[in-house]
Structure 1
């Protein structure tokens, strides 16, 4: 018997203007996955789920329907088909959810990334982290029906990750500026990714597209040059935020509160309902986060929330 514990943290997809092509990881919170390897098979499936905690019984125990186990199955298939490594044992999986479901914090990506980090370690690290991203993306397809990488890639690789292309997958890792901090606030409500995607337009006007392209390019330039004012004025989303903001009670009040507190910029985390803000110091990030929480409480919906302040995680999924 051999046991490995993997961890992967929360991620923010889209990063305002970078719909489906940009994401980043923070240091905490995150999900844990514990894998135990035994030589003898326990069932017809090489991976079984022994327990899930922290999900209030909402996640499936079927290994082909749960994100964390499904990506391990894909990983084992890849080892057999592409690397000639046959797996004849059994893996028991224990999932500890610390991220809220349907939160916009990359919950499914964190579970997948933690499971893949543990599986790779368990079997002697046959794959690079970049290879593991492919399996994590397939986990997103199981979770929400769309194989997007803006949460899965930073959950595995850390840092900011720009997806230049999906076919073939081409990822660019962008290390964060040293003094960039994220305030992430999760109101106590849920917004399913599939529904948040359904409200988006299938086509956008050329003028709107050029605005979005300009902001994405400027945001990347700001990150690479540590130009904090440029980062702030590039956090403008003219495509997804206008459609999704009405789905988040108090969004406009929260965004205004963050900016009044000194944040560089503020937008929806992934598909929501969580909201993130960037600041150039930890003190400002904490003040912005507190202001965002107060705005949720004083909004019409009077929503309580959780708040985290973190630098950008450079490490990605790791072994505990």
Structure 2
């Protein structure tokens, strides 16, 4: 029985202005997944956490990914998956994407690396569709490719890995719930052309800044005129944290995914740690528990911890 253990990182989607097309892997928090290839065609899912996620394969994010791989490849073998989840569901840090991407990449390794990166993204998107109702790859892509990725298209899949700037990421996860489906529901269905043009300029500027390693350009481009003004009302202390982070030297930042997590980028570790303290303090002031993470951008994505025959 072939087995593998992997470490699957949290991800920050959108990167402020790149709604559904930009994503970034970070080092913490992360999930651990153990996958085993079975002689029989059954799929077994087990969770060691207390989040109460379903373990029936057709209702589980990792399970639907494996079911689709199994069906597409006409496999007579199955999979057993044990998920040690530390990325809390609904955190805005890519919890469902971690399970989905981990299942796709882990299964691919067990099957002898027969799938391309694009095919792994394709199958992992079934998990995101189950979790949020939408097939999006902005969290999945950096999990599989590492670093920062641009999803040029999700149908057909066209992923462009970008550079990994030498920056620090500070992320805070306040213990309040913001469902991805709800966060999508409140978005405007129509937008002004002038706002769209401004947003396109920010996205293009951010991608150019990443590719040229132009840190000031990245900072000027981390601005969202479409999504953040609407979604930020769902996140306590958002405006205070963003304002104080920028004053403390943050390059920029905003909502991580659909929230409630908030992320900020900084050039120096001291700045990132200072931002972490002010984030924690902002939530302590209103008696909301929070978890804060400081790390570099993760250049490699999913990491193989152990592989056994």
| Residues 23-172 of structure 1 aligned to structure 2 (within 5 Å) | 23-39=23-39, 41=40, 46-49=42-45, 51-57=46-52, 59-80=53-74, 87-172=75-160
CA shift for structure 1 position 16? 0.5
SS at match of 2:263: strand
**Distance across 1 between alignment mates of 2:288 and 2:298:** 28
Please tell me whether residue 249 in structure 1 is matched to residue 236 in structure 2: yes
Q: Name the residue aligned to 1:317.
A: 302
**1:12 has 2:32 as partner:** no
* Deviation of the 1:137 alpha carbon: 1.3
Where has structure 1 moved over 6 Å in runs of 4 or more?
none
- Which stretch of structure 1 is more off in the superposition, 247-256 or 160-169? 160-169
Separation in structure 2 between the aligned mates of residue 209 and residue 230 of structure 1, nearest angstrom: 19
CA distances 1:110-137 after superposition (whole Å, capped 9, x unpaired): 1111122221111111112232111111
Please give the per-residue CA displacement for 1:76-95, whole angstroms capped at 9, x wherever unaligned. Answer: 22323xxxxxx222321111
The number of residues matched between the two structures is 305
User: What's the TM-score, normalizing by structure 1?
Assistant: 0.92
Paired with 1:237 and 1:173, the residues of 2 have a C-alpha distance of: 22
Task: Give 2:193's match in structure 1, choosing from 202, 206, 213.
Answer: 206
Q: CA deviation at 1:21?
A: 0.9
Provide closer, same or farther for how the CA distance between residues 318 and 74 of structure 1 changes in structure 2, counting only shifts above 3 A: farther
Q: Alpha-carbon deviation of 1:304?
A: 2.1
Corresponding residue for 1:182?
169
User: 2:256 maps to what in 1?
Assistant: 269
Unmatched segments (≥5 aa) in structure 1: 81-86
CA–CA distance in 1 between the matches of 2:155 and 2:108?
24
1:289 pairs with 2:285:
no
Structure 2: gaps (5+ residues): none
Q: SS of 2:92's equivalent?
A: coil
Instruction: Measure how far apart 1:152 and its partner are.
Output: 1.1
Give me the whole-angstrom Cα distance separating, in 1, the residues matched to 2:287 and 2:229: 22
Match of residue 22 from structure 2: 22
- What is the Cα deviation at residue 211 of structure 1? 0.8
CA RMSD of aligned residues (A): 1.3
SS in 1 for 2:72: helix
- Preserved contact between residue 34 and residue 115 of structure 1 (Cα < 8 Å): no
Deviation at 1:190, TM superposition (A): 1.4
| TM-score under structure 2 length normalisation | 0.95
Shift of 1:73: 1.6
Query: Which residue number corresponds to residue 83 of structure 1?
Result: none
Structure 1 position 286, deviation (Å): 1.4
Deviation at 1:297, TM superposition (A): 2.0
Rounded to whole Å, the distance in 2 between the matches of 1:155 and 1:210 is: 30
